[in-house]
Amino acid sequence: MSLAFQISHAELLLLLGLLELPRPFALGQGTLPARPALEGALSAAAGSLVARNLLVLPASPESPPTPHAALADMLRTAALADSLLIVASGPPTQLGHISRAGNRFVLHSSPAPDVHRFEALTGADQVTGTMLGMLAPANLREPERQTPLLLSGEALLTAFNALQHNDEHMAVWALEQQGHPTTLARSFVTAIGPQPARYALAAIRHMRQPQPEARGALLIAGRNGGWWAVPASDRDDRLALWPVGGDSLRQRIGELGAWICEAA
């Protein structure tokens, strides 16, 4: 079982301050409440952390409290990450971040508003497995067609929104408008089915270097199968829409995870 900690937002802010760490990417810039409210929240957070043995009070009042060592390591990994994997799902929107700093990996998620969960991951295999767990069921049916459709981002959004409203005719029309035959467009739409889920994936590495590298993909997963959308090429602003099932999804997620984990 992986080591994990669950803390409140105020507790996280307190620990980041004690450890002199920047805000993790997942928190964004954010704003702090007015001083009296902030002081009250941090005081309550300190008491809660002490009660759960996540913060040790010093013997001398001149010394700062000491955060739990394993939790402190996870926070350092999240705050000082050199590589990052982001999975955003919806609707409703949920976010998960996998941070890498050196050979350490940490999953940062939010199971409830103002609640943060940090879980240590052991390496590439667990990174890939964790990402798959955050996505659609891995038993999606494998498609008969293994070649992509090329279409604009606007057309993909139109097709997705149409399927959200059980309008397969509009979804087929959106693909037809990109020059694809009706029979081909209909086979793609039928392979997804109504009311699919949408997942956005982003991978960034060398974040602390002048020129970070980034990759991204969009997964649309329905009851019958999935679409994996990535840029068609550096010279083409269209998306390549690949049909995927359980096995092909594992392969693509594995490639993305391995790219982040290289030389770990």
In the numeric block, the tokens 């209909």 are attached to 186
pTM of the entire structure?
0.86
Measured distance CA(144)–CA(99) in Å, rounded: 36
If pLDDT is split at 50, 70 and 90, which confidence band does 185 have? Answer: very high
Mean pLDDT of 121-130: 85
91, pLDDT greater than 70: no
- Contact at 8 Å (CB) between 54 and 231? no
- The pLDDT score that the predictor gives to residue 97 is 92
For the segment 39-61, what is each residue's pLDDT rounded down to a tens digit?
667 788 889 999 999 999 888 87
Q: Is the dihedral of CA 158, 160, 161, 163 positive or negative?
A: positive
Helix H or strand E encompassing 49: helix 35-51
- The pLDDT score that the predictor gives to residue 208 is 85
What number of residues does the chain have? 264
**Residue ranges of domains in the chain:** 4-122, 149-261
83, pLDDT greater than 90: yes
- The pLDDT score that the predictor gives to residue 15 is 93
Which residues are within 8 A (CB) of 257 and not within 5 positions of it... i.e. 6 or more apart? 85, 124, 127, 128, 131
